[in-house]
Structure 1
Amino acid sequence: MAKADGSYIKEIAKIERQHLLILDDFGLQPFDAQNRAALMEIIEDRHGKASLVITSQLPVSKWHEVIGEKTIADAILDRIVHSAHRLELKGESMRKKRRADEKEISYQ
């Protein structure tokens, strides 16, 4: 429906104008066909032109599965992964640690 009234094109144009796009919590839910197509369009438009940061708790090896549709997933990941600088963080969740620290403080 968003495509019919032109709002989809306006949103994509806004995203394209940004120097940095951050996709936070990537892969929490599998992509449907519409979201997969939108992601492909965004990645294709930004590839080699603007910065992209993706955060995810899902290992990159599982991204194909979450994106679905092997051919589109290959195209998306080819544009993301091969020119990426990957940082893999290890350790306990900062939210969990912060929550434990807050409880400790409140008991004192």
Structure 2
Amino acid sequence: MEKRKFSREFKIEAVRLITERGVSVAQASRDLDVHATVLRKWVKAFSVDPKDAFPGKGQMKPEQLEIDRLRKEVAKLKAERDIFKKAAAYFARDSI
């Protein structure tokens, strides 16, 4: 069974149906043919950060972009550190 994908607009409208129009999650679930748990997650995600909710495939939130950038930087710095350690050990061995 293939996983269904929903657009950002669909998710926002589903959340508005529940929050603004007062439709119950159970009724919206039946009407939209989306599991109630999924709708609850959408409502929670939208209430936490409406602007950056549902970024879509390949689009990360700014915080996640910063985390990824920092992880790459840490990996680069560790590689440089390891090179210097090996060089120091090599030159220390040759001087004996």
Give the structure, 1 or 2, with the largest relative contact order (CA under 8 Å, sep 6 or more). 1
TM-score by length of 1: 0.26
TM-score by length of 2: 0.28
